[in-house]
Amino acid sequence: MWNWFFKLASPPHFYALAGRLSYWLLVPAVVLLAIGAWGGLVLAPPDYQQGDAFRIIYVHVPSAYLSMMIYVTMATAGAIGLIWRIKLAHAVAASCAPIGASFTFAALVTGAVWGKPMWGTYWEWDPRLTAELILLFLYFGYMGLRGAFENLTQADRASAMLAIAGVVNVPIIHFSVIWWASLHQGPTLSKLEAPSISGDMLWPLLTMILAFTLFFLGILAMRVRAEVLEREVQSRWAEDVLRGASPAGVNS
């Protein structure tokens, strides 16, 4: 087991594995995205209160979910990098940040588009909206802090500590609608015994969440691959890759 773990942490081995994984993750992501979009935009009936405006959830909910999941992934990878000094973990954390910021921005924009007809305003300083905005600033702060250091080791350590400190915001986002009075609707999917959404609306949403998750993992594999190659540019195997060669243990 531990041999497999240490082999996975090897940059050339992970570079080869990530190249294969990106394909096997992105292809089903696109297929599921098409199925979920068809189910949500065409097959699902209009909501009895919101009409067709509710359909924005098929982008908003997966984006909001991933904005939090990616941050936890980034903080976890940063912690692993700090504790066990695994450089690959820092590469994963660094690769997560721009993807997570993109999904957070998408969640805020789609929420604003939905909020205008439902609440009469694009923005309200609602607890969940405010915490989600703070999450976006945390992503920006993480990327900005990394860029402030010329030394890669210092950048890894400082940004990892920021990511770990900021992870406290994730449960605040999740539980904000329970802890405080909020315009935002309460839990729906998390009530597994009785989700507050009908089955013909639920299955496309779950499909879209899975599609977005696979898409994230596929893009993450591609970004980590590039990050690893940049970090290992002085190594023999990386030089071989950049020359177009295929050294042992490294496959495109």
Instruction: Quote the domain boundaries for residue 65.
Output: 37-242
Q: Tell me whether residue 6 is in a domain.
A: no
Q: Global pTM?
A: 0.91
**Distances 13 to 1, 247, 250 between C-alpha atoms, Å:** 16, 11, 6
Residue type, position 69, single letter:
M
Supply 119's token pair: 């609440």
Residue 118 maps to which CATH number?
1.20.120
Q: Tell me whether residue 103 is in a domain.
A: yes
Q: Tell me whether residue 14 is in a domain.
A: no
Q: Tell me whether residue 22 is in a domain.
A: no
Phi and psi, residue 187, nearest 5°: -60, 145
Domain count, the chain: 1
Q: Tell me whether residue 17 is in a domain.
A: no
Rg (CA), the chain: 20
Per-residue pLDDT of the chain (252 residues; tens, 9 = 90+): 556 555 667 888 899 999 999 999 999 999 999 999 999 999 999 998 889 999 999 999 999 999 999 999 999 999 999 999 989 999 999 999 999 999 999 999 999 999 999 889 999 898 999 999 999 999 999 999 999 999 999 999 999 999 999 999 999 998 887 776 666 666 666 554 555 688 899 999 999 999 999 999 999 999 999 999 999 988 888 888 888 766 555 554
Q: Tell me whether residue 30 is in a domain.
A: no
Q: Tell me whether residue 183 is in a domain.
A: yes
Q: Tell me whether residue 95 is in a domain.
A: yes
**Distances 18 to 67, 87, 148, 203 between C-alpha atoms, Å:** 22, 16, 28, 30
Selection from 64, 77, 55, 151 nearest residue 105 by Cα: 64
